[in-house]
């Protein structure tokens, strides 16, 4: 099953990291990663590739549009089918988590990312 | 005055009248001669017309009318007063009396006296028409009686009224029309002597007055402030002139000249008294205003009228004299009452004059008798008493003024001596105070230096506090910043372990191509690990540098890197503290920015401060602004030939103009108490200044604030 995932993070090195981490899955064609360096860029990407992207991984702390805002925008703009949105943050406090879940996040992950856990979650969502 | 005096002297007393008696034939019997002589009062007959026969003793004058020619002219029938006429008297004089006696005549008209038909005396010119007649007056030269054995005699008087005499008020000259007196030779010489003494006295008084006039005029001349001297001099002068007129009267002159002298004397004496009045008013500072002038004019007019208009009673003029004298006396008493200095002297002078005048009058009217020289002295006192009193007063004033001046002078000398002493004392005190002041200044300066040192210490403590405070702001950001690279280091390390495992497998499989690809990845990852490791290292170093005291070592610095690093630190610091905060960061770095020779941690502090402020500003605005508001902080760098320019702009609320000037001042902050030290911008300002750079602010309230930092290359 081909699954398009959009990763939103202002750290450019997140891209090679994900590609390395998911190299087997990418090779197998399970996942297809796209990257955006900001919320704005992510929205722009979604504008064009809305139907393809079924899962979005977004950092919360970003200059400009935050991950939470991005989440709100996505929930407002794309109701059908609603993409899965997972929020990632370095600040894993309850308030952050609560806010993210309230805005409609499917998952809330804290940095440093446990990629094995992430893989499990991704697989769960895919199979659902 | 003089007329009065003369009149009194010449007055015919009842005492003298009692000594003459008439017999059956109408002849006047004179058997003895008292010291005051015998006046021929009654027994006279008169007839108008002129006939030499009337002198004849045998002429029958039965039809003639009786007359008392010793009365003054106004009391005689009007017929007598016109033209030429004759009077006759029969007398019976004892031989002894006839031998020792002489005849004295006081006359108004020009007269010729015939005894027993023989002309023995002529006074004036008897002429027809009568207008050319002129009377002559001489009552002091005795007329010798012709030798005769007889005891019965006839005295005939031919007279002619002098029309020239009507020029003056007749009432002023109440002399006998034709007064004849038998007087012993010795009495005559006594009277003459007395009159001579009067004249001497008058001259002496006049001399005194003239001297005083000159003296006081001189005083006035050299000290015009005291006008009293001038008025007094005038008073003395006019009074002296009056006395001189008395001298020129001479009692032996044409009657009209004699009368003119008397009239002039009266005028002079009234002027003199007016000056006396003015002098007294001036001396005692009484100010009657224009009243005095008016009074003087009225007085002069009245006196002139009194002198020249027939019929005005003599009392009017004398009353005026008395009024002026009373006023003067009253002023003197008033001055005494008011306790004016020296008023007593003048009062005494006037009082003495008054007393003497009373005595004089009493003597003259026969009420009392005093020796002649006392009488004469009294007359002099009347004249000189007030004059000398005023003169003494003025002299005393002059002397007292002199004394006062001397006292003042010595006071001034004393004062100036005291002044000099005080000045010296002051000088001494001043010097002491200066010394004290200098000591105090030194002490204070030492204190100030101590304070300054304390302040410097406090300042450096504050600076350190500010650094630590900003470090606190950064901690969360730093943690975040370190967390990210560490995550990468960990992740890439883990990936590499996986890759190495994979590579092992592939090597066993002999897939060389795959092995090379994996190796390439591993190499890339290691570079990433190294990069992020260094990144974390750099952050930690930067943090350490930030908190360390500046070592002031300048080094070539990449402003882009420095600014970027601190921008992130600031941003994440704020984010860590307040989750609701967010801001768009726009970075416009100039690609060819030259390195700047600077102390990196100092410049770092400056930009950190600017970022913190910018974020604070947009965050504040975010709290109140509408949702569409997008907080934006823009960092841009550029360079001209001489400077690197860092711009930090936010779209916050801006800075009001009244605050703009203060923001660089130490401890100025708009943040709530406890949130800001108020040292951030002031420190930044100091740092930039130390780099010979500048900080400028541009702001539009409600729109933006832009800080422009220029640092020379």
Q: Do B90 and B210 lie in a common domain? A: no
Task: Give yes or no: residues B114 and B220 share one domain.
Answer: no
Tokens in use for B303? 């006196």
Given B492, B571, B579, which is nearest A96 (Cβ)? B579
- State whether residue B491 is helix, strand or coil: helix
pLDDT attached to residue B338: 87
The DSSP code for B525 is H
Of all residues in chain B, what percent carry a pLDDT higher than 70? 91
Tokens standing for B605? 């502090």
Residue B599's pLDDT band (cuts 50, 70, 90): confident
Q: Do B579 and A91 touch (CB under 8 A)?
A: yes
Looking only at the bridges linking them, the beta strands covering B118-125 and B178-184 are: unpaired
Spatial contact of B276 and B384, defined as CB atoms under 8 Å apart: no
What CA–CA distance (Å, rounded) separates A120 from B9?
172
Residue B637: per-residue pLDDT: 93
Q: Is the pLDDT of residue B626 over 90?
A: no
Exposure string over B146-185, b if 16+ CB within 10 A, otherwise e: eeeeebebbbbbbbbbbbbbeebbbbbbbbbbbbbbbbbe
A11–chain B Cβ distance below 8 A for any pair: yes
Report CB contact under 8 Å: A21, B495: yes
Q: Are A69 and A39 in contact (CB under 8 A)?
A: yes
Chain B contact for A92, CB < 8 A? no
Q: How far is CA B237 from CA B34, B213, B356, B613, in A?
A: 42, 5, 22, 108
Of A11, A93, A99, the CB nearest to B484: A11
- CA–CA min distance B665, chain A (Å): 32
ipTM value for the complex: 0.86
Please state whether B137 falls in left (phi above 0), alpha (psi between -120 and 50) or beta: beta
Contacts with A, B 519-538, CB within 8 Å? 521, 524-525, 528, 531-532
Residue B41 placed within a domain: yes
Q: How close, in Å, is residue A113 to chain B by CA atoms?
A: 8
Chain B contact present for A111, CB below 8 A: yes
* Range of lowest pLDDT (A114-128, B348-362, B622-636): A114-128
Q: Which residue has the tokens 């050319």?
A: B132
Could you say which residues from 68 to 97 on chain B have a Cβ atom under 8 Å away from some Cβ of chain A? Answer: none
Closest CA relative to residue A91, chosen from A72, A70, A109, A69: A109
Asked whether the CA dihedral B84, B86, B87, B93 is positive or negative, the reply is positive
Report the distance separating Cα B186 and Cα B193, nearest Å.
Answer: 10
User: Which of B476, B481, B491 should we substitute to test contact with A (largest number of A Cβ atoms within 10 Å)?
Assistant: B491
pLDDT for residue A36? 93
Residues B243 and B205 in one domain: yes
Alpha-carbon gap, residue B498 to B511, rounded angstroms: 17
Residue B588 contacts A, CB cutoff 8 Å: no
Residue-wise pLDDT tens digits, B667-699: 677 776 656 667 788 888 888 888 899 999 999
Residue B537 lies in a domain: no
Quick one: DSSP state of residue B630? -
Average pLDDT of chain A, as a whole number: 84
Q: Do A20 and B492 touch (CB under 8 A)?
A: yes
The contacts of residue B260 (CB under 8 Å, 6+ apart) are: B168
Decide: helix, strand or coil at residue B607. Answer: helix
Quick check: is B527 in a domain?
no
Q: Higher model confidence: residue B475 or residue B566?
A: B566
A-chain CB neighbours of B579 within 8 Å are: 91, 93, 95-96, 99
> Which of B191, B209, B228 marks a domain boundary?
B191
Contact with chain B for residue A96, Cβ under 8 A: yes
What pLDDT does residue B628 have? 83
User: Does B689 map to a domain?
Assistant: yes
Per DSSP bridges, beta strands B632-639 and A3-8 are unpaired
Q: Where a domain ends, among B404, B430, B451? A: B404
Contact B506, B556 (CB under 8 A): no
Which domain covers residue B17, as residue numbers?
2-191
Pair (B161, B290) in one structural domain: no
Q: What distance in Å separates the CA atoms of residue B33 and residue B39, rounded to the nearest whole number?
A: 10
Does the CB of A91 have a partner CB in chain B at under 8 Å? yes
Angle between helices B372-509 and B227-249 (to 10 degrees): 170
More confident residue, B26 or B527: B527
Whether B185 contacts B60, CB under 8 Å: no
Q: For chain A, report the end-to-end CA distance as a whole number of angstroms.
A: 12
What's the mean pLDDT in B486-493? 89
Instruction: List, as one string, the DSSP characters of B253-313.
Output: EEHHHHHHHHHHHHHHHHHHHHHHHHHHHHHTT---TTHHHHHHHHHHHHHHHHHHSTT--
B694-700 and B632-639 strand pairing: unpaired
Give dist(CA B218, CA B631) in Å, integer: 108
Provide, for chain B, the percentages of residues in helix, strand and coil under a 3-state DSSP scheme, each rounded to the nearest 5: 60, 15, 25
**Structural domain boundaries enclosing A34:** 3-127
CA-nearest of B10, B653, B567 to A10 is: B567
- Quick one: pLDDT at residue B24? 64
Q: Which of B148, B169, B191 is the last residue in one of the domains?
A: B191
> What distance in Å separates the CA atoms of residue B282 and residue A105, rounded to the nearest whole number?
122
- Examine the pLDDT at B15 and tell me if it is beyond 70: no
Give the Å distances, CA to CA, from B500 to A13, A107, B28, B517.
Answer: 20, 32, 200, 11
- B709 upstream amide cis, omega within 30 of 0: no
| Cβ pair A61:B490 closer than 8 A | no
With residue B39 as reference, give the H or E element that holds it. Answer: strand B38-39
Is B459 among the domain residues?
Answer: no
Are B37 and B70 in a shared domain? Answer: yes
Supply the CATH number for residue B98's domain.
Answer: 2.60.120.260
Count Cβ atoms within 10 A of the Cβ of residue B66 and give its class: 0-12 exposed, 13-18 middle, 19 or more buried: exposed
pLDDT, tens digit (0-9, with 9 covering 90-100), for A2-56: 678 999 998 888 898 898 888 888 888 888 899 999 888 998 888 888 777 778 9
- How far is the C-alpha of B98 from the C-alpha of B145, rounded, in Å? 7
pLDDT for residue B674: 58
Question: Residue B265 maps to which CATH number?
Answer: 1.20.1070.10
Residues B166 and B220 in one domain: no
Domains held by chain A: number: 1
pLDDT band at B549 (very low <50, low <70, confident <90, very high): low
Please compute, for residue B331, the number of CA atoms within 13 A of its CA located in the half-sphere on the CB side: 23
Which ranges constitute the DSSP H helices of B510-558? Answer: 512-547
Nearest chain B Cα to A90, which residue? Answer: B480
H or E segment and range at residue B13:
none
CATH number at residue B627: 3.30.565.10
Q: Which residue has the tokens 């894993």?
A: A92
Question: Is B491 within 8 Å of A17 when comparing Cβ atoms?
Answer: yes
Tell whether B576 is within 8 A of chain A (Cβ).
yes
What does the alpha-carbon distance between residue B368 and residue B374 come to, in Å, rounded to a whole number?
12
Same domain? For B67 and B117 the reply is: yes
Q: Could you tell me the two tokens for B548? A: 């360390």
**Residue range B640-648: mean pLDDT, rounded:** 91
pLDDT digits (tens, 9 = 90+) for B401-426: 888 889 999 999 999 999 999 999 99
B634: Cβ contacts below 8 Å, ≥ 6 apart: B585, B586, B587, B588, B647, B648, B649, B650
Residues in chain B closer than 8 A to A90 (CB atoms): 480, 483-484
Phi then psi for B581, rounded to 5 degrees? Answer: -80, 140
* B583: confidence class by pLDDT, cuts 50, 70, 90: confident
Q: What residues of A are in contact with residue B611 (Cβ under 8 Å)?
A: none
CATH assignment of the domain containing A25: 3.40.50.2300
Work out the end-to-end distance of chain B between its first and last CA atoms, rounded to an integer number of angstroms. 124
**How far apart, in Å, are the Cα atoms of B554 and each of B557, B593, B637?**
9, 17, 20
Q: Which residues of A touch B571 (CB under 8 A)?
A: 63
Q: What is the tens place of the pLDDT at every residue in B193-242?
A: 888 888 888 888 899 999 999 998 998 998 888 888 899 899 999 999 98
pLDDT at B23: 64
> What contacts B59, CB < 8 A, 6 or more positions away?
B53, B88
Q: Is B182 in the same domain as B314?
A: no
**B85 and B221, same domain (yes or no):** no
Number of domains in chain B: 3
CA distance A64 to chain B (A): 3
Residues B168 and B197 in one domain: no
Q: Are both B172 and B207 inside the same structural domain? A: no
pLDDT at B555: 86
pLDDT for the residue numbered B3: 42
Please indicate, yes or no, whether residues B383 and B395 belong to a single structural domain of this protein.
yes
**Which tokens go with B243?**
């006395």
- What are the φ/ψ torsions at residue B275 (nearest 5 degrees)? -65, -35
């Amino acid at each position: 099953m081909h699954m398009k995932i959009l990763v939103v993070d202002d750290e450019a090195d997140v891209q090679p990291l994900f590609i390395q981490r998911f190299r087997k899955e990418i090779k197998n064609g399970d996942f297809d990663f796209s990257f955006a360096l900001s919320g704005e860029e992510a929205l722009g990407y979604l504008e064009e590739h809305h139907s393809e992207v079924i899962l979005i991984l977004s950092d919360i702390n970003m200059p400009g549009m935050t991950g939470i805002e991005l989440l709100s925008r996505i929930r407002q703009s794309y109701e059908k089918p609603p993409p899965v949105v997972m929020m990632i943050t370095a600040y894993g406090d309850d308030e952050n988590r609560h806010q993210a879940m309230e805005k409609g996040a499917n998952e809330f992950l804290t940095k440093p990312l446990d990629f094995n856990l992430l893989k499990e979650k991704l697989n769960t969502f895919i199979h659902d | 005055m003089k007329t009065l005096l003369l009149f009194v002297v010449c007055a015919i007393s009842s005492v003298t009248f009692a000594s003459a008696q008439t017999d059956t034939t109408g002849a006047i019997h004179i058997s003895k001669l008292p010291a005051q002589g015998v006046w021929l009062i009654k027994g006279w007959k008169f007839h108008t017309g002129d006939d030499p026969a009337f002198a004849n003793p045998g002429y029958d004058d039965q039809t003639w009318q009786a007359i008392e020619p010793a009365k003054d002219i106004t009391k005689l029938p009007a017929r007598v007063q016109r033209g030429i006429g004759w009077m006759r008297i029969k007398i019976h004089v004892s031989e002894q009396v006839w031998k020792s006696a002489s005849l004295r005549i006081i006359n108004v008209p020009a007269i010729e006296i015939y005894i027993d038909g023989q002309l023995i005396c002529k006074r004036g010119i008897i002429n027809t028409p009568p207008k050319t007649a002129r009377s002559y007056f001489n009552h002091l030269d005795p007329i010798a009686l012709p030798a005769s054995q007889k005891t019965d005699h006839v005295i005939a008087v031919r007279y002619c009224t002098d029309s020239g005499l009507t020029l003056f008020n007749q009432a002023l000259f109440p002399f006998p029309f034709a007064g004849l007196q038998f007087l012993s030779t010795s009495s005559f010489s006594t009277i003459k002597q007395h009159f001579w003494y009067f004249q001497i006295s008058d001259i002496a008084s006049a001399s005194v007055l003239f001297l005083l006039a000159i003296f006081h005029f001189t005083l006035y001349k050299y000290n015009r402030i005291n006008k009293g001297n001038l008025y007094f001099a005038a008073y003395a002068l006019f009074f002296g002139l009056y006395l001189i007129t008395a001298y020129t009267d001479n009692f032996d002159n044409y009657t009209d000249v004699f009368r003119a002298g008397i009239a002039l004397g009266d005028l002079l004496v009234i002027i003199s008294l007016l000056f006396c009045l003015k002098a007294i008013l001036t001396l005692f500072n009484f100010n009657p205003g224009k009243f005095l002038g008016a009074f003087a004019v009225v007085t002069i007019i009245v006196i002139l009228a009194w002198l020249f208009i027939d019929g005005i009673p003599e009392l009017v003029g004398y009353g005026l004299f008395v009024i002026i004298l009373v006023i003067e006396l009253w002023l003197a008493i008033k001055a005494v009452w008011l306790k004016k200095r020296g008023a007593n002297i003048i009062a005494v002078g006037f009082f003495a004059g008054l007393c003497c005048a009373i005595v004089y009058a009493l003597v003259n009217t026969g009420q009392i008798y005093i020796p002649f020289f006392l009488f004469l002295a009294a007359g002099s006192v009347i004249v000189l008493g007030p004059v000398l009193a005023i003169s003494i007063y003025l002299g005393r004033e002059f002397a007292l003024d002199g004394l006062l001046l001397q006292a003042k002078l010595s006071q001034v000398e004393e004062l100036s001596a005291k002044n000099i002493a005080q000045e010296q004392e002051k000088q001494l005190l001043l010097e002491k105070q200066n010394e004290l002041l200098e000591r105090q200044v030194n002490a204070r300066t030492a204190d100030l230096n101590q304070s300054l040192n304390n302040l410097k210490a406090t300042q450096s403590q504050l600076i350190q506090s500010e650094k630590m405070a900003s470090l606190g702001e950064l901690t969360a950001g730093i943690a975040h910043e370190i967390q990210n690279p560490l995550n990468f280091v960990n992740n890439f390390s883990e990936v590499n372990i996986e890759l190495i495992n994979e590579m092992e497998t592939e090597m066993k499989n002999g897939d060389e191509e795959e092995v090379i690809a994996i190796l390439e990845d591993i190499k890339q990852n290691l570079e990433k690990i190294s990069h992020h490791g260094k990144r974390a290292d750099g952050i930690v170093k930067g943090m350490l540098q930030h908190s360390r005291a500046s070592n002031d070592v300048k080094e070539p610095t990449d402003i882009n890197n420095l600014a970027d690093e601190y921008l992130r630190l600031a941003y994440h610091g704020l984010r860590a503290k307040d989750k609701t905060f967010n801001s768009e960061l726009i970075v416009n770095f100039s690609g060819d920015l030259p390195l700047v020779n600077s102390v990196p941690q100092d410049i770092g502090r400056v930009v950190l401060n600017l970022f913190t402020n910018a974020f604070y500003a947009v965050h504040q605005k975010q709290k109140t602004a509408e949702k569409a508001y997008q907080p934006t902080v823009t960092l841009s760098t550029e360079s001209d030939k001489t400077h690197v320019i860092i711009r930090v702009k936010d779209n916050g609320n801006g800075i009001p103009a009244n605050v703009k000037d203060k923001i660089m001042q130490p401890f100025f902050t708009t943040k709530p108490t406890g949130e800001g030290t108020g040292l951030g911008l002031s420190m930044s300002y100091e740092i930039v200044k130390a780099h010979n750079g500048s900080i400028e602010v541009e702001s539009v309230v409600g729109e933006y604030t832009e800080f422009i930092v220029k640092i020379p290359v």
